[in-house]
Structure 1
């Protein structure tokens, strides 16, 4: 399956299950955006830059793990309750937070090293979250297995990520042009929440890729 087919199928799934994804993830996305806004407004420009990452670690693992569990359940024709998904995500939070912190640290270091190493890490670590949630791997084991699974699929994964994130980056830039800083707190909260929620489509796309690649390990050398 090529990148276009993956994106098409993922968009169809996202649209078909939008109301459930909104119910499951949007409240936590808004909480995350609100916490980030409070932190940004209560700290000065010279404060510790990593505090925003720490705030993200509090909430991001919850709604992302819940979404992954939902994607897996729907792929098997099941319709789990929202509270059950969130309860399961809460039990995964410690390991997921560690994985997210490690991924973020490595990607930021890679981006600082002439950018390209960060892109490589972003792609090769892309399946770590799914391996942790769906296969119960520890953070380091999930990262190692992600490196193995993505081998031979780098271009296809990168194309899919850029096709989703590229338009979102352009949209975010256009929004900031229309509503430049300093922004009204309500408008800022709406913009940040909408941007973070739309980024969840990336998780849907990567889940589709993960299922295709993980179910066919013998084709790990296949190129786009």
Structure 2
């Protein structure tokens, strides 16, 4: 495996299934973005960060779990479930997924607050946690522990692949922050685009998991 092949496979899947992925994930990304935007208007800058993160924890588990469930159906050769069925299945996973998202976000935030590299290290080591929770039905703590173990032999592949996706996304988010006050409509559109681009992270991590740890165990 190499980063270029993973990025190519990720983009190929994403572009081929865009007609399903957008209606599957975009409504929840829109609700997440709208909620965060309204909170930023109602609160000052110091108050927005925790409330904005809380809004993300409400909607992010739904559309990310839906995407992972769809990837599971496709990878296992099953007939993909309808969007409503995927949403219902993701809502059943929501409590565990929300707890996992809160724990991983906290650890990554602490890592980035200390120095950039510890935060990046934690983010890479937890890259498989969401996949393990959805695909294997693990609890949040067990999924995090197993992700730390399974990423051991794939750290630099994950690092280069995810940075290739994150770098333009971070640049876009920085631009959005500069436009938030002056152009809320434009900011909303760019935030939606950023949210859709971050779906590539989930697809890439799932692809590496399927070609790496899952194949090695088989």
Q: Given that residues 149 and 217 in structure 1 are in contact (C-alpha distance below 8 angstroms), is that contact kept between their aligned partners in structure 2?
A: no
Write the distance in 2 (CA, Å) between the matches of 1:32 and 1:26. 10
**Cα distance, 1:181–1:97 mapped onto 2, change above 3 Å:** closer
Q: Mapping of 1:136-147 within 5 angstroms?
A: 136-147=137-148
SS in 2 for 1:215: helix
Residue of structure 1 in register with 2:197 after alignment: 198
In the TM superposition, what is the alpha-carbon distance from 1:92 to its structure 2 partner? 0.3
Write the distance in 1 (CA, Å) between the matches of 2:46 and 2:13. 43
Residue of structure 1 in register with 2:26 after alignment: 26
SS in 1 for 2:44: coil
Q: Given that residues 61 and 100 in structure 1 are in contact (C-alpha distance below 8 angstroms), is that contact kept between their aligned partners in structure 2?
A: yes
Q: Mapping of 1:57-206 within 5 angstroms?
A: 57-77=57-77, 78-173=79-174, 180-206=179-205
Q: Given that residues 161 and 202 in structure 1 are in contact (C-alpha distance below 8 angstroms), is that contact kept between their aligned partners in structure 2?
A: yes
Q: Given that residues 65 and 92 in structure 1 are in contact (C-alpha distance below 8 angstroms), is that contact kept between their aligned partners in structure 2?
A: yes
- Alpha-carbon displacement from aligned partner over 1:25-54 (angstroms, at most 9, x marks no partner): 001100100000111111123426311111
Query: By percentage of residues, which structure has more helix?
Result: 2
SS in 1 for 2:49: coil
In the TM superposition, what is the alpha-carbon distance from 1:79 to its structure 2 partner? 2.0
In the TM superposition, what is the alpha-carbon distance from 1:176 to its structure 2 partner? 6.0
